[in-house]
Amino acid sequence: MKFNTKLIHAGIHPDPSTGAVMTPIYQTSTYAQDGPGNHKGFEYARTQNPTRKVLEDNLAAIENGAAAVCFGSGLAAMDAIIKLLKPGEEVLATHDLYGGSYRLLVRVFGPLGIKSRYIPMQNLEYFESQISENTKLIWIETPTNPLLQIVDIEAIVNIAKRKNIMVCVDNTFASPYLQNPIDLGADLVLHSGTKYLGGHSDVIHGAVICKTNELADQLHFIQNATGAVPGPMDCFLILRGIKTLHVRVQRACENAKKIVEYLQSNPKVNRILYPGIISHPGHEIAKKQMKDFGAMISFDLHNQELENAVRVLSRTKLFTCAESLGGVESLIGHPASMTHASIPKEDRIKSGLTDSLIRLSIGIEDSDDLIADLHEAIN
């Protein structure tokens, strides 16, 4: 089955009891047993839920994994993955990491004895030199947030495999439509379903897709033992979102290209960070490992004053100033004062996150309207 068909059909069957075409929301906490232990595979809804099971089967199919495990949020999914490690073991992560992932590793797992280090992964020799005997997991984010850097997944996996280290890719920014890390050798794929999978900014959800059943069994154990499961309504919303993932992401990428062209023509715009631009240092790798270049764009202005960027953000009418990404509506954000405010200014600027950096999540509105809105706000 091809990808676009899998989105709509993989793992999904008409409901056996009624023939309902759409997977029902099984809003139940428990299931009748004919006698003790004599049940239909469902005992208690923390452990199994039919709506969640259909979503997990669908996700496994679209990311080409053996199985998937769903959670109440992207960070709950990450929390479960890090629980595969023991005190003394270490995570080596992409330097330009989602803020919540960084906070979870440093402030929750750090005190429990699981170490983490953050390094750029563009220079492979440097990357390899940073692996220690305690490195148990490599955590890749690509494209990164908000600097849109690209990591060569296959190259990192090849180094990790030689040393028997597990690799997880946070694939939230790309979505399974653009990039499938398990095909490139990754062991685990994380999604914040809140973003492109759900696609309509109406649900919080997370998932891990596993290359092997063995890893999925370990994560199902953690899912049941710690209980951060998503509700059936949330699973239904993600299933519904996935059915249009290909058309949404494709249109958003088309819009993003036109908006990049517009930004390139505006003399007030300084840097544009977008992997689709030929001069982007990760352009060739993105072309190799992604189907298209995504719908996230960051740019800054020649006038680097913070107030200048803030003025743009408060003037857009179609672009809503908000955190998050991946919905049908376009969003505009200011990393320095919103998502990355907890990073000291000096460190921020050193890594390229200037005070006037603006991040766009491009939706699927008409690109002419989006460009007109940005033009008004910037000029």
Ligand X SMILES: *Cc1c(COP(=O)(O)O)cnc(C)c1O
SS3 category, 199: coil
The answer to whether residue 206 forms part of the interface with ligand X (CB under 6 A) is yes
Q: Is 313 helix (H, G, I), strand (E, B) or coil?
A: helix
Q: What does the buried/exposed string (b/e) look like for 22-35 if buried means 16 or more CB atoms within 10 Å of the residue's CB? A: ebebbeeeebeeee
Cβ of residue 371: shortest distance to ligand X, in angstroms? 25
196 part of the active site: no
* Known active-site residue 46: yes
Max intra-chain CA distance, the chain: 74
- Nearer CB in complex with ligand X: 170/373: 170
Question: Applying CB under 6 A, does 23 fall inside the site for ligand X?
Answer: no
Is 75 one of the binding residues for ligand X (CB under 6 A)? yes
Considering the rule CB under 6 A, would residue 109 count as an interface residue with ligand X? no
The residue count for binding ligand X (CB under 6 A) is 16
Name the phi and psi angles at 202, rounded to 5.
-130, 15
* Beta carbon of residue 99, minimum distance to ligand X (angstroms, whole number): 9
> Is residue 79 near ligand X by the rule CB under 6 A?
no
Q: For residue 100, state whether it binds ligand X (rule: CB under 6 A).
A: yes
Our measurement of the distance from residue 185's CA atom to the centroid of its chain's CA atoms, rounded to an integer in Å, reads 18
Q: Is the CB of 172 or the CB of 354 nearer to ligand X?
A: 172
Q: Which of 79, 96, 170, 292 is catalytic?
A: 170
Sheet hosting strand 358-361, strand order edge to edge: 269-273, 296-301, 358-361, 331-333, 320-321
SS (H, E, C) 29-71: CECCCCECCECCCCCECCCCCHHHHHHHHHHHHHCCCCEEEEE
- 296-301 vs 320-321, strand pairing mode: unpaired
**Which residue's Cβ has the minimum distance to ligand X?**
74
Q: How far is the CB of 233 from ligand X (least distance, A)?
A: 16
Beta bridge partners of 331: 320, 361
By CB under 6 A, tell whether 194 contacts ligand X. yes
Backbone angles phi, psi at 161, to 5 degrees: -60, -40
**The two three-digit tokens of residue 165, written as one number:** 């280290």
Task: Pick one of 23, 94, 172, 180: the residue that binds ligand X (CB under 6 A).
Answer: 172
- Report the residue number, 1 or 233, with the smaller CB distance to ligand X: 233
Does 170 engage in binding with ligand X (CB under 6 A)? yes
Stretch that binds ligand X, among 23-31, 84-92, 93-101, 232-240 (CB under 6 A): 93-101
Query: Annotated catalytic, 98?
Result: yes
245 Cβ contact partners less than 8 Å away, ≥ 6 residues apart: 7, 62, 175, 176, 177, 196, 197, 199
Q: Which of 23, 135, 145, 356 binds ligand X (CB under 6 A)?
A: 145
Of 51, 180, 192, 289, which lies in the binding site for ligand X, with binding defined by CB under 6 A?
Answer: 192
Query: Would you count residue 99 as binding ligand X (CB under 6 A)?
Result: no
Distance CA 103, CA 110 (A): 10
Judged by CB under 6 A, the residue of 23, 62, 70, 98 near ligand X is 98
Residue among 26, 52, 79, 98 flagged as catalytic: 98
Q: Is 204 in the site for ligand X (CB under 6 A)?
A: yes
Closest CA to 105 of 63, 129, 136: 136
Nearer to ligand X, 135 or 192 (CB): 192
- The answer to whether the CB of 189 falls within 8 A of the CB of 171 is yes
126 part of the active site: no
> Which residues are bridge partners to 116 per DSSP?
91
Q: Which stretch binds ligand X (CB under 6 A): 72-80, 129-137, 265-273, 279-287?
A: 72-80
Q: Which residue in 77, 104, 361 sits closest to 234, CA to CA?
A: 77
166 vs 371, beta carbon nearer ligand X:
166
Can you tell me which of 50, 65, 74, 199 binds ligand X, judged by CB under 6 A? 74
Catalytic residues: 46, 98, 170, 195
Contacts with ligand X by CB under 6 A lie at 73-75, 98, 100-101, 141, 145, 170, 172-173, 192, 194-195, 204, 206
